[in-house]
Structure 1
Amino acid sequence: MTAVTETPAWIAEITMAELEKNPYPFYERLRREAPVAFVPALGLHIASTRAACQEIGSQSDIWDGVISPAGGRTFGHPNVLNANGPEHDELRGMVDPALQPSEVDRYVDKLVRPIAKRYVEAFENDGHADLVAQFCEPVSVRALGDLMGLQSVSSDKLREWFHKLNVSFTNAAVDENGEFANPDGFIPGDEARAEIRAVLDPLLDKWTVEPDDSALSHWLHDGMPEGQTRDREKIYPTVFVFLLGAMQEPGHAMASTIAGLWSRPEQFERVVDDPKLIRRAITESLRWTSPIWSAVARVNKVDTTVAGTFLPAGSVVMLSYGSANHDGNAYDAPSDYDLDRAPVPHMAFGAGKHGCAGTYFASEVCRIGLEELFETIPNLERDETKGIDFWGWGFRGPVELHANWEV
């Protein structure tokens, strides 16, 4: 990593705790004064503007995928985020087939709709719920878990795994020597990985000799010579990526969509009355609060300059999509949720060869979940006695979302 001298005090003094609670003020200043800047608390550069993120994300001849030190410590290597060249092609060839839009359209409704119905029916007669804990996250983890072949793992356990992996992944602070400031912060992730392997090893043994249509069974067999299966040590790092990023993304997008619509009650009513608007509402929420807020990085293969900052070869740059999606040069009043915003594409799913593989799947899970929720409880209202707190810098979404309705 590249050392930078004379880092401005306002950058040098930022802490991970501040970024996790509310990254927006810091990133607004970064976009204005230092679009690509070295942040000592993280030990790497940050790209904060839409233009810088697009430039880096689209130039695969200059930039390779890489992962933050905390991400590498959490997932292991190689994974679909930090592999490059033929290795990346193999991993994307492993995960992409089940996530292609035409394939997702084949199975997603019959996969997700019964799950969403089951969860909303569990509380529809209560008159109140925390939608994050009781609906958005459970629907998200159950849908992906069943797609992967993890029907035997409870939704509560899947949620526990992704929360523990998130604690580990976001334990990104480093000291002045570039060492992790809180090594114990990786303990939850280590515990989750050990549990995941204990559960998955017998399943992988079974799928090796009895393949089925689950995604993980395909990961073992697809693209392999007859009679051979993919080494599970090649599979596990990407499994951990999915059990964090892909597990949380639809749920947090769902929750952020509800929170955004609640900030504009008249728009909430329009969406409830006209389900065809749900897709548009989700698109705006992905821009407004990107679930993958700042979790993807690149490393340059040659010296280059981005946004006026010289970056010697080997500089690691974090692409902050949540910041790019609040860039005032691309969006009017970017801090406002607005269903009627002009359709400028957002960057919530990244760009280039390392763009999110689950873009379409995540959006469809979110759409189906909200369709079922709004149809079953059309008189859903925000519980005004409780606030809506967002948390996260790597991954971001509402912590709780309390709702009331008349039964």
Structure 2
Amino acid sequence: MTSTLSWIDEVTMAELERNPYPVYERLRTEAPIAFVPVLGAFVASTTEACRTIANSDDFEGIITPAGGRTFGHPAIIGVNGDIHKDLRSMVEPALQPSEVDRWVEKLVRPIARRYLEAFDATGRADLVTQYCEPLSVRALGDLLGLEDVGSDTLREWFHKLSDSFTNAAVDADGNFTDQKRFDEGDAAKAEIQSIVDPLIDHWIEHPDDSAISHWLHDGMPEGKTRDRDYIYPTLYVFLLGAMQEPGHAMSSTLAGLFTRPEQFEAVVDEPDLIPRAIAEGMRWTSPIWSGTARIAKRDTVVSGTEVAEGSVVILSYGSANHDADTFEAPTEYDMTRPPLPHLAFGTGNHACAGIYFANHVCRIGLEELLETIPNLERDTSEDVEFWGWGFRGPTSLHATWEV
């Protein structure tokens, strides 16, 4: 299948992963719903199109082909009906605001302080690899019950799963063009199972307050647990998306603040502004940029485009968050812009279950960083490079400060 605009046929996966914004700017203007051959699917690029599809009864959740190849079935992001309800009921209790409020401070703040102590006296750091990503994976890893898995291992898992999940490029026959990235994801999953299987064996007989233990037992008849093969696809979702999002939201927020020194100073002087800075950071560079999809249940029309029954549409929330019809000067980071709801966490019944937790991990992480190192500055001798189309964030963020 080819697109209705010939230039779209020439779009490459490398181009999208390096910088998707130019392609999606044209899509928003010329074809808000368009078939993109390299992805083997339609994409929705505007705020209106993404919101309409995510909340429409004409569509239901589906995982992208590369995502399905990576996670397997049933992953929470790609199922519907009773299975989706059960998986949401499995993961949501620990992520309810009242529950998160009970433990998030004592979980996250000591982790943040521990990582800061490792480099605050050095006067320089790569904030992505030394702080934002490690804090993000450690907080979720401990919540899940993976306290004995090293942060470097958790980071390696989410990077390999991300490379596999976003390995979307297909040829004219719909076949994937890069097997190596799937192989690396498979190796990560094998390692995950080798570590988690013994823990599951223990939690089946000795349940505790870890999230995975609750996934096994909550809502099940006496003496029964959910099957591990049923849980693993959703665990992979968490080990990728939920581990990636807070870390890259923090680093994107910092990268944005570095472009607006007056706003950076305002946040240092008034920590209560940090949540607003984070919200703008997530809009500016959405960590889950284009990672979810829907399938049309019937022939329908969206944003003036006919979408046939069975068509898969990828929801490009990172593009929607740069829609000039919704946000003024969307390519600029500006935490003083009028607050408008962004789509970094999705919308509809498949919206991210961890919104509250992720926002608090980011808030606590930035509070601790800016209180400990208020004179933080970007190291201008190093470039800030972003990467990713499905998931996006800085690959590094070098900073310096006087000690």
1-structure distance, mates of 2:320, 2:396: 25
Q: Does 1:176 align with 2:164?
A: no
- Measured against aligned partners, the alpha-carbon deviations of 1:227-257 in whole angstroms (never above 9, x if no partner) come to 1000111100000010000000000000000
Gaps of at least 5 residues in structure 2 are none
RMSD: 0.7
Task: Supply the AA of the counterpart residue of 2:126.
Answer: D
Deviation (angstroms), 1:7: 3.2
Q: Percent identity?
A: 67
Out of 116, 135, 160, the position equivalent to 2:156 is 160
Deviation (angstroms), 1:258: 0.3
Given the superposition, is the C-alpha separation of residues 6 and 108 from structure 1 closer, same or farther in structure 2, using an over 3 Å criterion? closer
Out of 370, 374, 378, the position equivalent to 1:378 is 374
Out of 214, 221, 231, the position equivalent to 1:218 is 214
**Kept in 1: contact 2:132–2:247 (CA 8 A):** yes
Q: Does 1:255 align with 2:251?
A: yes
1-structure distance, mates of 2:67, 2:163: 11
Specify the alignment match of 1:366 in structure 2: 362
Partner-residue secondary structure (3-state), 1:129? strand
Specify the alignment match of 1:100 in structure 2: 96
2-structure distance, mates of 1:328, 1:236: 39
2-structure distance, mates of 1:8, 1:83: 32
2-structure distance, mates of 1:367, 1:188: 32
**Kept in 1: contact 2:76–2:87 (CA 8 A):** yes
Task: Supply the AA of the counterpart residue of 2:378.
Answer: R
1-structure distance, mates of 2:48, 2:4: 22
Task: Supply the AA of the counterpart residue of 1:76.
Answer: G
1-structure distance, mates of 2:4, 2:12: 14
Task: Supply the AA of the counterpart residue of 1:33.
Answer: E
Deviation (angstroms), 1:6: 5.4
Deviation (angstroms), 1:170: 1.1
2-structure distance, mates of 1:88, 1:346: 24
Q: Does 1:16 align with 2:20?
A: no
Q: Does 1:190 align with 2:183?
A: no
Specify the alignment match of 2:73 in structure 1: 77
Specify the alignment match of 1:130 in structure 2: 126
Specify the alignment match of 2:334 in structure 1: 338
Q: Does 1:46 align with 2:43?
A: yes
Equivalent residue runs for 1:228-243 within 5 Å = 228-243=224-239
TM-score by length of 1: 0.98
2-structure distance, mates of 1:12, 1:185: 23
Specify the alignment match of 2:23 in structure 1: 26
Partner-residue secondary structure (3-state), 2:35? strand
Equivalent residue runs for 1:393-404 within 5 Å = 393-404=389-400
Deviation (angstroms), 1:185: 1.9
**Kept in 1: contact 2:3–2:37 (CA 8 A):** no
Task: Supply the AA of the counterpart residue of 2:176.
Answer: F
1-structure distance, mates of 2:318, 2:393: 11
2-structure distance, mates of 1:146, 1:380: 28
TM-score by length of 2: 0.99
- Measured against aligned partners, the alpha-carbon deviations of 1:355-374 in whole angstroms (never above 9, x if no partner) come to 00111111100000000000
Task: Supply the AA of the counterpart residue of 2:26.
Answer: R
1-structure distance, mates of 2:163, 2:322: 25
1-structure distance, mates of 2:75, 2:219: 17
2-structure distance, mates of 1:16, 1:99: 34
Partner-residue secondary structure (3-state), 2:364? helix
Number of residue pairs the alignment of both structures matches: 403
Specify the alignment match of 2:113 in structure 1: 117
Specify the alignment match of 1:390 in structure 2: 386
Task: Supply the AA of the counterpart residue of 1:14.
Answer: V
Specify the alignment match of 1:308 in structure 2: 304
- Measured against aligned partners, the alpha-carbon deviations of 1:194-238 in whole angstroms (never above 9, x if no partner) come to 000000000000000000000000000001001100011110000
Task: Supply the AA of the counterpart residue of 2:98.
Answer: S
Partner-residue secondary structure (3-state), 1:45? strand
Gaps of at least 5 residues in structure 1 are none
1-structure distance, mates of 2:343, 2:4: 28
2-structure distance, mates of 1:16, 1:331: 27
Deviation (angstroms), 1:184: 2.0
Specify the alignment match of 1:86 in structure 2: 82
